């Protein structure tokens, strides 16, 4: 219920959201992505779809189905868009399109507004029926592989609009472009307040020692999240400050590289009993919430990052955060105020030590961070922004007074 957010989300967000929902009441809104579990996109959709329906906008979520070959290709696309050198052959592009075409039998694409998330389902635009079609890019495309980006652009330009998380990701295209950062739901299982008993239950079940400070990173096992860099930073810190490191992650069904990266991480952690590599099952929201609440410092040391929901999640729990200065992370961390932005393993280690040895500063950063998230990155703001894009596309050319 929207009223549950009174006193949690900014009042202005709630009022505007209510107004825009009245305009779109009873209309249909479809979201399509490629996984129901794992990663930030699924995380947001799980919360946003029921909320939109409660607000009177008839919203559905369809998931594109692929096979192993398809996910290997789309992971390469993802990596290329984030700047890796990858070769995508003509045959691969054809297969990408073909899997989308095959999905038509299963997918109902009929809606007043269709939001297609990320490159996996981007070719669906060739089968549009009606409504406004918007492509939503969650990836860090600041420095993409040009060839791959140009190919994808051919699909994107057929959409009515594109939405990026960060201004510097936007590309020169002949369609409308909007900047909408993602958000967290403060009332979800992942972010709600937990009781001491609930936190203790997680600590006991996952056998987390709480006798020393805890350094935490929560992420899919993906090289762009730099889990190895996190271990190296921890090792530097460990020479001076006794602490434990938790790397918690679960697999995403559309990420075929997860297992290999997990194996690398385990090997790198070797036999250090103070490094806890936790492979969590999907939907371990309460456990992640509890881990974030017991941590003394939280890292998101990504090398590339579309947005990094884990940063907002950590800040919402009043924790000082150290993030890689990349993608959407600088949007969330006010350097020196709510946490620190870092560019290297050494930088991360330096900032971990600074936080561990300055509890008063850590506390102050946590308080500032929570307010920053409240004002900028809650789900109420994001839903309002999506609906505003849809509304503005339908009312293009009209003056404010006519709306």
Interacting residues toward ligand UDP by CB under 6 A? 39-40, 43, 190, 218-220, 248-250, 280, 284, 288, 307-310, 313
Please say which residue, 61 or 95, places its beta carbon nearer to ligand UDP.
61
Q: How far apart are CA 47 and CA 330, in angstroms?
A: 24
Q: Checking phi first, is residue 336 left (phi over 0); if not, alpha (psi -120 to 50) or beta?
A: left
Q: How far apart are CA 292 and CA 284, in angstroms?
A: 12
Find the shortest distance in angstroms from Cβ 331 to ligand UDP. Answer: 12
Please say which residue, 174 or 281, places its beta carbon nearer to ligand UDP.
281
Helices 40-54/309-316 angle, 10° precision: 70
Find the shortest distance in angstroms from Cβ 24 to ligand UDP. Answer: 27
Find the shortest distance in angstroms from Cβ 294 to ligand UDP. Answer: 15
The CB-nearest residue to ligand UDP is: 40
Please say which residue, 131 or 229, places its beta carbon nearer to ligand UDP.
229
Helix (H) or strand (E) holding 115: strand 113-117
Find the shortest distance in angstroms from Cβ 90 to ligand UDP. Answer: 28
Find the shortest distance in angstroms from Cβ 247 to ligand UDP. Answer: 10
In degrees and rounded to multiples of 5, residue 359 shows phi and psi of: -60, -30
Contact 139, 77 (CB under 8 A): no
Please say which residue, 132 or 183, places its beta carbon nearer to ligand UDP.
183
Contact 262, 248 (CB under 8 A): no
Find the shortest distance in angstroms from Cβ 89 to ligand UDP. Answer: 26
Contact 117, 306 (CB under 8 A): no
Find the shortest distance in angstroms from Cβ 307 to ligand UDP. Answer: 5
Please say which residue, 160 or 313, places its beta carbon nearer to ligand UDP.
313
Please say which residue, 100 or 250, places its beta carbon nearer to ligand UDP.
250
Q: How far apart are CA 14 and CA 336, in angstroms?
A: 30
Find the shortest distance in angstroms from Cβ 255 to ligand UDP. Answer: 8
For residue 333, with 0-12 CB atoms within 10 Å meaning exposed, 13-18 middle and 19 or more buried, which class applies? buried
Q: How far apart are CA 163 and CA 145, in angstroms?
A: 19
Find the shortest distance in angstroms from Cβ 392 to ligand UDP. Answer: 26
**Residue 263 in 3-state DSSP?**
helix
Find the shortest distance in angstroms from Cβ 33 to ligand UDP. Answer: 11
Question: Which residue reads 């297969």 in tokens?
Answer: 95
Please say which residue, 39 or 66, places its beta carbon nearer to ligand UDP.
39
Q: How far apart are CA 137 and CA 144, in angstroms?
A: 13
> What are the helix (H) ranges across 270-300?
285-294
The b-or-e profile of 76-111 (16+ CB within 10 A means b, else e) is bbbbbbbbeebebeeebbebbeebbeebeeebebeb
For the chain, what's the residue count? 403
Please say which residue, 310 or 382, places its beta carbon nearer to ligand UDP.
310
Q: Which of 78, 160, 87 is nearest to 119 (CA)?
A: 78
Please say which residue, 179 or 280, places its beta carbon nearer to ligand UDP.
280
**Sheet containing 161-164: order of strands:** 58-63, 28-33, 113-117, 132-137, 161-164, 176-179
Please say which residue, 95 or 386, places its beta carbon nearer to ligand UDP.
386
């Amino acid at each position: 219920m929207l009223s549950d957010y009174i006193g949690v989300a900014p009042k202005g967000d709630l009022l505007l959201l209510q107004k825009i929902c009245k305009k779109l009441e009873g209309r249909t809104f479809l979201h399509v992505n490629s996984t129901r579990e794992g990663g930030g996109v699924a995380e947001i959709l799980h919360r946003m779809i029921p909320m939109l329906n409660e607000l009177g906008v008839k919203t559905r979520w369809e998931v594109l189905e692929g096979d192993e070959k398809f996910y290997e290709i789309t992971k390469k696309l993802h990596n290329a868009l984030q700047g890796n050198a990858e070769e995508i052959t003509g045959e691969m592009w054809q297969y990408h399109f073909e899997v989308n075409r095959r999905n038509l039998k299963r997918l109902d694409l009929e809606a007043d507004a269709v939001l297609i998330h990320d490159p996996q389902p981007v070719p669906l635009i060739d089968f549009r029926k009606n409504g406004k079609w918007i492509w939503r890019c969650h990836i860090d495309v600041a420095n993409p592989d040009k060839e791959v980006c140009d190919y994808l652009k051919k699909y994107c330009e057929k959409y009515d609009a594109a939405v990026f998380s960060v201004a510097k990701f936007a590309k020169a295209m002949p369609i409308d472009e909007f900047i909408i950062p993602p958000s967290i739901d403060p009332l979800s299982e992942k972010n709600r307040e937990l009781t001491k008993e609930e936190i203790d239950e997680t600590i006991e079940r996952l056998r987390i020692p709480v006798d020393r400070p805890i350094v935490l990173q929560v992420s899919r096992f993906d090289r762009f999240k730099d889990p190895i860099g996190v271990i190296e930073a921890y090792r530097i810190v460990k020479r001076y400050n006794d602490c434990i490191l938790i790397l918690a992650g679960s697999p995403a069904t559309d990420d075929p590289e997860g297992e290999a990266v997990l194996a690398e991480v385990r090997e790198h952690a070797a036999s250090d009993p103070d490094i806890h590599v936790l492979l969590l099952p999907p939907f371990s929201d309460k456990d992640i919430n509890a881990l974030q609440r017991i941590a003394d410092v939280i890292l998101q040391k990504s090398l590339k990052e579309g947005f990094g929901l884990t940063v907002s999640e950590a800040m919402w729990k009043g924790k000082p955060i150290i993030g890689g200065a990349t993608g959407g992370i600088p949007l969330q961390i006010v350097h020196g105020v709510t946490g620190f932005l870092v560019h290297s393993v050494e930088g991360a280690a330096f900032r971990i030590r600074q936080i561990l040895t300055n509890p008063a500063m850590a506390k102050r950063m946590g308080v500032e961070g929570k307010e920053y998230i409240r004002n900028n990155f809650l789900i109420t703001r994001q839903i309002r922004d999506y609906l505003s894009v849809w509304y503005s596309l339908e009312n293009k050319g009209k003056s404010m007074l006519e709306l």
